[in-house]
């Protein structure tokens, strides 16, 4: 690994870069996004080095002019994201940036645990499993593990599906208060997607009553012909529902009666997911 040229500051320590080419390319791209991009370029360069960097080194590594680098670093220092190291040799990560990184790691850990629960459930059932929440007339998938089989369903986290014909959507609608449920059903378009889609409010209410009693959502080829899905609630430690855990599969491979037989496995996984949430919405 090549050593970095020493800066004009005689007190500055030269040191190797972790990945000079990649970092430089990233910094150049960030510069296209104005002051915010320049700030992130400075932070990315600092965190990619093991020794303090002088103002001149930061300007050179990020491709900024010295006046621009000085202006951006001054703002970052005032905000606590960078600071002078104790030896005054250059700039290092500030206390606020370090706390930000720690908070990010703490937030990421539960998400990784949730994904691991989904992955294990998918491996046990052999089918696609996902975790989603209700957002008005739609369900948003926050995490998803696809089945490693033919006829797998391809959705990305962040994908949205209609609530009235999806297992998670019907489950979460059923657990709303009667007044809230009525309001949502009358506001959302009950679009027909297959011959099985329920488009009548009264018929959907009956379906939701049963779903509420069983705490089980069912999509019997209602959103996609040939695909079945079941869902169970995920409750946080305080008992409040934070979302739904679902398994979906081609009906040719997993008929609905077989899917319903997997509900106990989903409930066990949902209990594990729930433990990663301290509390749900009140």
Residue-range domain boundaries for the chain: 20-93, 106-274
pLDDT at 9 (0 to 100): 39
The secondary structure of the chain, three-state, reads: CCECCCCCCCCCCCCECCCHHHHHHHHHHHHHHHHHHHHHHHHHHHHCCCCCECHHHHHHHHCCCHHHHHHHHHHHHHHCCEEECCCCCCEEECHHHHHHHHHHHHHHHHHHHHHHHHHHHHHHHCCEEEEEEEECCEEEEEEEECCCCCCCCCCCCCCEEEHHHCHHHHHHHHCCCHHHHHHHHHHCCCCCCCCCCCCCHHHHHHHHHHHHHHCCEEEECCCCCCEEEEEEEEECCCCCEEEEEEEEEECCCCCHHHHHCCHHHHHHHHHHHHCCCCCCCC
Whether residue 246 has pLDDT greater than 90: yes
CATH code for the part of the protein at 20-93:
1.10.10.10
Percent of the chain with pLDDT over 70: 81
What is d(CA 115, CA 238) in angstroms, rounded to the nearest whole number?
21
pLDDT at 166 (0 to 100): 96
pLDDT digits (tens, 9 = 90+) for 1-36: 334 333 333 333 333 344 444 444 555 677 777 888
pLDDT at 231 (0 to 100): 98
What is d(CA 85, CA 190) in angstroms, rounded to the nearest whole number?
61
106-274 belongs to which homologous superfamily? GAF domain (3.30.450.40)
Whether residue 39 has pLDDT greater than 60: yes
pLDDT at 151 (0 to 100): 59
What is d(CA 174, CA 276) in angstroms, rounded to the nearest whole number?
24
Range with the poorest average pLDDT among 133-147, 197-211, 214-228: 133-147
Domains 20-93 and 106-274 share a fold: no
Phi/psi region, residue 101 (left: phi>0; alpha: psi -120 to 50; beta: rest), is: alpha
Name the CA dihedral angle for 103, 106, 111, 112, rounded to a multiple of 10 degrees. Answer: 130
Query: Counting beta carbons within 10 angstroms of the beta carbon of residue 272, is it exposed (0 to 12), middle (13 to 18) or buried (19 or more)?
Result: middle
pLDDT digits (tens, 9 = 90+) for 45-66: 888 887 888 889 888 888 899 9
User: Among residues 156, 157, 148, 158, which one has the least CA distance to residue 127?
Assistant: 148
pTM: 0.66
User: How far from 268 is each of 235, 238, 274, CA to CA, in Å?
Assistant: 12, 17, 10
How long a stretch of residues is the chain?
A: 282
pLDDT at 22 (0 to 100): 45
Query: Counting beta carbons within 10 angstroms of the beta carbon of residue 242, is it exposed (0 to 12), middle (13 to 18) or buried (19 or more)?
Result: buried
pLDDT digits (tens, 9 = 90+) for 143-172: 899 888 765 556 666 678 899 999 999 999
pLDDT digits (tens, 9 = 90+) for 108-125: 556 788 889 999 999 999
- Two tokens at 86? 């104790």
């Amino acid at each position: 690994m090549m050593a970095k040229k020493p800066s004009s500051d005689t007190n500055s320590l030269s040191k190797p870069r972790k990945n000079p080419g990649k970092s430089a390319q990233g910094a150049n791209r960030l510069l296209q996004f104005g002051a915010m991009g320049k700030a992130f370029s400075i932070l990315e360069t600092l965190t990619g080095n093991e020794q303090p960097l002088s103002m001149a080194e930061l300007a050179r590594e990020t491709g900024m002019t010295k006046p621009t680098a000085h202006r951006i670093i001054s703002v970052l220092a005032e905000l606590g994201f960078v600071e002078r190291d104790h030896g005054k040799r250059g700039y290092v990560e500030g206390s606020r940036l370090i706390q930000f990184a720690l908070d990010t790691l703490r937030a990421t850990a539960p998400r990784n645990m949730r994904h691991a629960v989904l992955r294990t459930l998918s491996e046990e059932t052999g089918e696609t499993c996902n975790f989603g929440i209700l957002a008005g007339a739609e369900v948003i998938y926050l995490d998803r593990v696809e089945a490693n089989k033919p006829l797998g369903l391809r959705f990305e986290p962040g994908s949205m599906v209609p609530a009235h014909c999806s297992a998670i959507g019907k489950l979460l609608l059923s657990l709303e208060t009667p007044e809230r449920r009525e309001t949502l059903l009358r506001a959302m378009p009950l679009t027909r997607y297959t011959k099985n889609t329920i488009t009548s409010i009264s018929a959907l209410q009956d379906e939701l009553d049963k779903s509420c009693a069983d705490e089980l959502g069912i999509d019997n080829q209602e959103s996609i012909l040939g695909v079945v899905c079941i869902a169970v609630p995920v409750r946080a430690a305080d008992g409040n529902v934070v979302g739904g855990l679902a398994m979906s599969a081609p009906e040719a491979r997993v008929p609905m009666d077989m899917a319903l037989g997997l509900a106990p496995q989903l409930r066990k996984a949902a209990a594990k997911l729930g433990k990663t949430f301290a509390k749900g919405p009140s």
